Amino acid sequence: MTNLWKVSTDTFVNEKESIMRMGNVYQIANGYMGYRGTFDEFGPDELVGITIAGIFDRVGDSWREPVNAPNGGYTRLTLDGSEISALTSTVKKHAQNLNLENAVFNRETIYEANGKTVTVNSTRFLSADKPNLGVIKFSLTTDKAAKVKISTGIDCNIWDLNGKHLVNLKLEQNEGALLVHAVTNELGKKVAVAEVVDASFGKATHEVKDNRNLHVIEVDTEAGKTYTFYKYFAVFTENDHVASVNEAAVKAVIEAKNAGYEKCLSNHNAEWAKKWAYCDVKIDGDDEAQQALRYSIFQLLIVAPVNGSANSIPARALSGQVYKGAIFWDTEMFMFPFFLYTYPEKAVELMRYRIKTLDGARRKAKTESIGFEGAFYAWESQDDGDDACTYFNIGDPNTGRDLRTHFRDKQVHISGDVAIAMWEYFKLTGDDSLLLEGGAEVILECARFYFSYAYFQKNKNRYEILDVIGPDEYHERVNNNAFTNMVTKATFEIANATVAYLKEKHPAAFTTLVSKINIEKELPLFVEAEKLLYVPQPNKEGVIEQFDAYFKLRETTIKELKAQMIHPNEYLGAGQGLAVPTKIIKQADVVMMLNMFKDRYPKEIKKANWEYYEPRTEHGSSLSACAYAMVATEFGNIDFAYDYFMRTAKIDIEAKYKVYVGTIFMGGSHPAANGGAWMTAVFGFGGVQSTAKNVVINPRLYKKWNSLQFNMIYKGDRFKVTIGQDKVEVIADAANKASHTFVISGQSLDTAPGKTLSHAAGAKSLA
Ligand code: BGC
C-alpha cells in the first residue's frame, strides 16, 4: 500500500531539468526559509537554494529578488582520493523521500568508485520550533576499508537569478563554529550563517577553499562500519531584530549541538504534530486524491509565515527566487482561506503583511499612471510594498525584446482582493483586533483608491472602472471587467460596513483613524459608489460579458490559436499576443468572480457562464482550474470538478508544469494552486461556506469518496467535520466557548461545545 504520508522515488536522473523539478518536489521549509530538495554535494548549478523569507535585494538594474543564504547544508566526500558526487560518480542505487508528517527529507545513495562502494545517507529538516535552524544527520558506510575525506561546512557559491546579493562576505571560525557573514548589496542588511558539526570519529581540520568555509574530516573507514555525524546550521538576518546576527547564529548552532539531534527532532516533530492535527484533510476511498491533497496542504504549511514576522507567501513560495519572491493576489484569494479556516494565527500574519506594506501601496497610488488616492497594492509585492513588477515584465522569445505589460499599472483588483481578505478575517473569526491595528485603515484606503480610479458616467448615472486588466491577463486595458467591478463594489461595501462597525463598537478609534487619514468627507462618497457602481449583468443567455466588447472579439479555439505559435514559450498576451484579438482567455475571470461571490448568483447563471467560458479558457495559470472546479460543484458537474481538482492538487507533486513564460524562468512551486486544492475539497466537494452568521454545508462529494474529513475553526471555536455520502457529522470541540449555527443541507442546527451533530447529507435529518 502506498504510504500516503511520504513522497518518494528510487531514481536519480542526472539531467539539469530533472534536478530542478526534483528540487521543488522535495523542498523543505519552515516559513523562515526554504531549502530545495537537492543533494548535500550539489552547488549553484544544481539550483541549491536556501531562500530566506522577507529579505530582498537588488543588484544594478536587475530584478529585485529574495536573498538566498550561503548553504550551511553542504557536504562532499572523496573516497580514496576520488570525488564522490551524483553528477560525476557511478550511482549504483538511490532512494529519496520526503516525509509529509514532519517535513524531513532523506536520501540514500550508493556510489561506486575505485572498486569500492560508499553508501551515503542523509536526513535533514528545518526546525519548526526554531525557525533559524537547520539540522542534518549524515552517515556513510564503505563496503571495504577506505580513506574517506569529508568536506562539510558552508558553501558560499550561491544560486542567484539576479545576484550577487551578498557582499563583503567573510568566512570565519567562531567558538568552534564556522561563520559566514555578509551584507546585502542594496540595503546593507546583515546576514549570517553559522554551522557546527558533531562528529565522534576522524581527524578534523579547518579549510577555506573555493569560496567554502569547511571542516575537513579524514577517516580510515572499516568495511561495513557506519560513520555518522550531525550538522547544525543557522541563518540570521537583520530582520530578526537580534543585537548581532553573527552571535545569534553561532549561539543557535551551539545550543542545537548541545541539545543534540534527537532533541531537535522531537521538538520539531511536536510542532508538526500540532500543524497536522489542525490542518489535515482525510479523503476516504481515493488514495491518489488523498496524497495529492495532503502534499498540497504540506506545501502551504511549510511556507506559513513565522509568527510575528508579518511576512506573506510568495507566488512560488520559498522554492527559490523565481517570480522575484513576490507576493501577488494569489495569497489573499487562494491561500488565505486555508489559513483562515484551519490556522488563523498564520492568516493574521498574512494580513499584517498588508498592513505593513500599506505605505508602499499609498506610494504606488500616488505615482502610478496619472496619480491616484488611497492604496493601490503592488501587483508583485516585496518587503516594502513597492511594486517589483516592471512595465516590461515578460520577454518575447521570438524577438528577444521585452514586452510592455500592464500587470503593474492596470491590475487594480489587487487592492480589493486585500480588502476582501481583511474583512473575511473579521467576519469569520469575530476578532476585530486586526481591523484596529491597521486593517480598517487598509480597507478605507483601498476604497479611496477605487473612488479615485472610478469614472462617473453622468449620462448613465453610474460609476465605471475603465482601463484595467482582470485576472485574464491576455486582455489588457479593458473597460468594465466584471470581476474588477465586482471586487470594487465589494470594497465599497466593506468600507461602509467597516465605518458602521467602528462607529458603533470603537467610536474613539474611529475618530482617530478618520482624522489620521483625513477621510471624513469621502465617506459619503463610498456609500454613493456602492450603490452606483456598475457591475456587468448576465445577457439573455445568462452570460456575463467579461469586459466591454469582449463578445465582439474573434471566435477561435485554443487548438487553432496554439497552432499559430512560433515559439513554444511565446506569451499569448501583451501588445501583439495571439490571444489578444480573440476570445481565448488565460484563466478564470468571470468564473472566478462567480466563485468569489457565489451567494449573489443563482446556479443557472453559474452554469451558463461556466459553459461559455470553459472552452475559451487556456488555463495558462495554475490559479485557473480550481475556480472552474469549485463552480462546477455548484451546479452539479462533479466529474469535471474532480478532474480539475486533481489537476490542481497534483501540480507540485507531479511537477509537470511549464517553467518558462516568454523568456522568464518560472520553475518553482505553486502555493496558490495548493490553496485552490484545499478550497476545492472543502468549499467545493464539501460545500462549506461560512458567513458572519453561520456555517453552511451543502455537500456534493465525488462518487468515489466514502468520506471527506477536515477540521475547521469558526469564530475561534474548533470543529471536526466528516462528510459521508449520506450523512454529515460535526463535532464541536469540548473546549469551544460558544454555540454556533451550522446549516446542513438546509437544516439549521446548533453546535453547543462538545456536542456531535449528525444530519443527512441530503435534506432528511438523521438526528
Ligand atoms: C497569473 C496571475 C498570478 C501570477 C502569479 C500569473 O501567471 O496570471 O493571476 O497572480 O501568475 O501566480
Closest protein CA for atom 9 of ligand 1? 471
Question: Residue 659: which of 221, 286, 255, 161 has the closest Cα?
Answer: 161
Closest C-alpha to ligand 1, atom 6: 621
Q: Is 445 in the pocket of ligand 1 (CB under 6 A)?
A: no
Pairing of strands 190-199, 226-237: antiparallel
Residue with the smallest CA separation from ligand 1 atom 7 is: 621
CATH 2.60.420.10 fits 695-766, yes or no: yes
pTM exceeds 0.85: yes
- The tens digit of pLDDT for each residue in 645-683 reads 999 999 999 999 888 776 777 789 999 999 999 999 999
Residue nearest to ligand 1 atom 11, measured at CA: 621
CA dihedral 254, 259, 263, 265 (to 10 degrees): 10
Whether residue 765 is predicted with pLDDT greater than 60 in this model: the reply is no
3.40.50.720, 1.20.58.190, 2.70.170.10, 2.70.98.40: CATH of 6-277: 2.70.98.40
Confidence band of 1 (pLDDT split at 50, 70, 90): low
Across residues 140-165, what is the average pLDDT? 97
Is the pLDDT confidence value at 248 over 70? yes
Cell of residue 386, nine digits: 513597492
Average pLDDT over residues 337-360: 98
Determine whether the shortest distance from the Cβ of 314 to ligand 1 is under 6 A.
Answer: no
Quote the pLDDT of residue 766: 36
- Please state the atom number of ligand 1 nearest to the C-alpha of residue 330: 10
The atom of ligand 1 lying closest to the CA of 323 is 5
C-alpha 709 chain-centroid distance = 23
**Looking at ligand 1, which atom is closest to the CA of residue 672?**
12
Contacting residues for 374 by C-beta, under 8 A, at least 6 apart: 362, 365, 415, 444, 445, 446, 447, 448, 449, 450, 451, 452
Mean pLDDT of 384-392: 96
- 341 touches 713 (CB < 8 A): yes
pLDDT digits (tens, 9 = 90+) for 529-574: 999 999 999 999 999 999 999 999 999 999 999 999 999 989 999 9
- Give yes or no for residue 621 CB within 6 A of ligand 1: yes
The percentage of residues in the chain with a pLDDT greater than 70, rounded to a whole number, is: 99
Give the number of the atom of ligand 1 that is nearest the alpha carbon of residue 471. 9
673 lines ligand 1 (CB under 6 A): no
Kindly report, residue by residue over 710-728, the tens digit of the pLDDT. Answer: 999 999 999 999 999 999 9
Summarize pLDDT for 411-444 with one digit per residue, the tens: 999 999 999 999 999 999 999 999 999 999 999 9
The residues with which 193 forms a beta bridge, in sequence order, are 180, 235
- Pocket-testing residue among 303, 323, 379, 623, ligand 1, by greatest number of atoms within 8 A of Cβ: 623
Q: Model confidence over 595-605: pLDDT tens digits?
A: 999 999 999 99
767 pLDDT band (50/70/90 cuts)?
very low
Q: Is 221 in the pocket of ligand 1 (CB under 6 A)?
A: no
Q: Is the distance from the beta carbon of residue 473 to the nearest atom of ligand 1 less than 6 Å?
A: yes
Q: In this predicted model, what pLDDT tens digit does every residue of 15-35 receive, in sequence order?
A: 999 999 999 999 999 999 999
Among 484, 475, 478, which residue's Cα sits nearest to residue 449? 484
Q: Where in the chain is the domain with CATH 2.70.98.40?
A: 6-277
Task: Tell me if 329 CB under 6 Å of ligand 1.
Answer: yes
CATH classification code of 286-685: 1.50.10.10
pLDDT mean over 136-152: 98
Q: What are phi and psi of 571, to 5 degrees?
A: -85, 135
The C-alpha cell that represents 56 in the structure block:
530582498
pLDDT of residue 657: 86
Cα(644) to ligand 1 centroid in Å equals 18
List, by residue number, the catalytic residues. Answer: 473
pLDDT at 626 > cutoff 60: yes
CA of 281 to the centre of ligand 1 (A): 26
The contacts of residue 127 (CB under 8 Å, 6+ apart) are 30, 133, 134, 135, 256, 264, 267, 268
Residues of the chain with CATH 1.50.10.10: 286-685
